[in-house]
Structure 1
Amino acid sequence: MERVTLNGTDLNVSRVCLGCWQFNNDKTTINWESQSMQQSKAIVDRCFEVGINFFDTAQGYAGSEEVLGECLQGRRKDAIVATKYGFGKGTEPYTAEDIDKTVTTALTKLQTDYIDLLQIHFPCFIKDAAETITELKRQVSLGRIRYYGVSNFGPKNLHTYLDAGLAPVSNQMGYNLLWRSVEFDVQPICKDKGIGILAYSPLQQGLLSGRYEKLEDLPEGRRRGKLFASQGLARHGQDGCEAEVFEAVRNIKSICKRENLDMAKASLAWVLQQEAVPVAIVGARTPEQVTENSQIIKLTHAVVKELSDATEKVKQKVGRSLDQWVHPDRCE
Structure 2
Amino acid sequence: MEHRPVGSSGLTTSALGLGTLHWGADTDEHEAGEILEVFLDAGGTTVDTTAGIGAGEEVLGALVGSTVPREALTIVAKAGVDGELSSPRVDVSRGRLMASLDRSLRRLGTDHVDLWLVQAWSPHVPLAETLSALQWAQRTGRARYVGVSNYSGWQTARAATLEPDLVATSVEWSLVARGPEREVEPAALALGLGVLAWSPLGRGVLTGKYRVGTPADSRAAAAHLSSFVSPHLTSGARRVVEAVVTAADGLGCSPQALALAWLLDKDVVASAVTGPRTAAQLRGALPALDVELPEQIVGVLDEVSDPLAR
- Give the TM-score range, shorter chain: 0.7 to 0.9
Whether 1:307 aligns to 2:298 is: no
Distance 1:216 1:138 in 2: 46
Instruction: Provide the C-alpha distance between the structure 1 equivalents of 2:235 and 2:253, rounded to a whole number of angstroms.
Output: 24
Alignment match of 2:234 (pick from 230, 239, 242)? 242
SS where residue 198 of structure 1 aligns? strand
Please identify, of 168-177 and 209-218, the stretch whose mean Cα deviation from structure 2 is larger. Answer: 209-218
Amino acid aligned to 1:224? S
> In structure 1, what is the Cα distance between the partners aligned to 2:130 and 2:226?
35
**1:13 correspondence with 2:13:** yes
AA of the residue aligned to 2:13: V
Q: Deviations over 1:78-105 (max 9, x none)?
A: 1000010022486353332222211111
The structure with the largest strand share of the pair is: 2
- Kindly report which structure 2 residues correspond to 1:219-298, keeping only aligned pairs within 5 A, or say none: 219-221=220-222, 223-224=226-227, 228=231, 242-295=234-287, 296=289, 297-298=291-292
- 2:6 corresponds to which letter in structure 1? L
**Which amino acid counterpart does residue 114 of structure 1 have in structure 2?**
H
Q: Distance in 2 between matches of 1:275 and 1:131?
A: 32
- CA distance in 2: counterparts of 1:125 and 1:118, whole angstroms: 21
CA contact (8 A) 2:3 2:15 kept: yes
Question: Cα offset for 1:293?
Answer: 2.0
| Alignment-mate amino acid for residue 19 of structure 2 | G
Query: 1:128 and 1:166, CA in 2 relative to 1: closer, same or farther beyond 3 A?
Result: farther
8 Å CA contact 2:205–2:233 kept in 1: the answer is no
Give how far 1:191 is off: 1.0
Query: Of 39, 46, 50, which residue of structure 2 is paired with 1:58?
Result: 50
Which residue matches 2:92?
Answer: 94
1:265-297 per-position Cα deviation (integer Å, ceiling 9, x unaligned): 010000011241121000112223223322212
Contact 1:210–1:253 (Cα < 8 Å) also in 2: yes
Q: Please, which runs of 5 or more residues in structure 1 have no aligned partner?
A: 28-33, 229-239, 320-332
Q: Distance in 2 between matches of 1:9 and 1:209?
A: 33
5+ residue gaps, structure 2:
none
Taking only aligned residues, the RMSD between alpha carbons, in angstroms, comes to 2.3
Q: CA deviation at 1:9?
A: 3.3
Is the contact made by 1:215 and 1:242 (CA closer than 8 Å) also made in structure 2? no
Instruction: Name whichever of 204-213 and 241-250 sits farther off.
Output: 241-250
TM-score, length-scaled by structure 2? 0.88
Aligned to 1:122: 120
Residues 278-329 of structure 1, C-alpha deviation per residue, up to 9 Å, x if partnerless? 210001122232233222122122211111112223x15xx4xxxxxxxxxx
Distance in 1 between residues matched to 2:151 and 2:124, nearest whole Å: 11
Structure 1 residues 11 and 117: CA distance shift in structure 2, 3 A: same
Aligned amino acid, residue 208 of structure 1: L
Q: Normalization by structure 1: what TM-score?
A: 0.82
Alpha-carbon spacing, 1:116–1:216, altered in 2? closer, same or farther (3 Å)? closer
Q: Does the CA contact (< 8 Å) of 1:202 and 1:280 recur in 2?
A: yes
Aligned residues: percent identity?
Answer: 23
Amino acid at match of 1:210: G
Equivalent position SS for 2:58: helix
Residue equivalent to 1:147: 145
Alpha-carbon offset, residue 142 of structure 1? 1.3
- CA distance in 1 between counterparts of 2:140 and 2:124 reads 21
Determine the C-alpha separation between the residues in 2 that align with 1:66 and 1:301.
Answer: 43
Counterpart position of 1:83? 77
**2:75, 2:113 within 8 Å by CA — same for their partners in 1?**
yes
What SS does the aligned partner of 2:166 have? coil
Does structure 2 conserve the Cα–Cα contact (< 8 Å) formed by 1:133 and 1:166?
Answer: no
* Secondary structure at the counterpart of residue 22 of structure 1: coil
Alignment partners' CA distance in 2, 1:261 and 1:174: 24
Could you say if the C-alpha distance between residues 10 and 126 of structure 1 is closer, same or farther in structure 2, counting changes exceeding 3 Å? farther
Instruction: Give the letter for the 1:55 counterpart.
Output: V
**Partner SS for 1:123:** coil
* Structure-2 separation of matches of 1:156 and 1:8: 19
* Aligned CA distance change for structure 1 residues 8 and 312 (closer, same or farther; 3 Å): closer
Q: Deviations over 1:169-205 (max 9, x none)?
A: 1111111111101111111111111111111111112
CA distance in structure 1 between the partners assigned to 2:101 and 2:226 by the alignment? 33
Q: Number of residues paired by the alignment?
A: 297
Q: Distance in 2 between matches of 1:225 and 1:66?
A: 23
Amino acid at match of 1:173: V
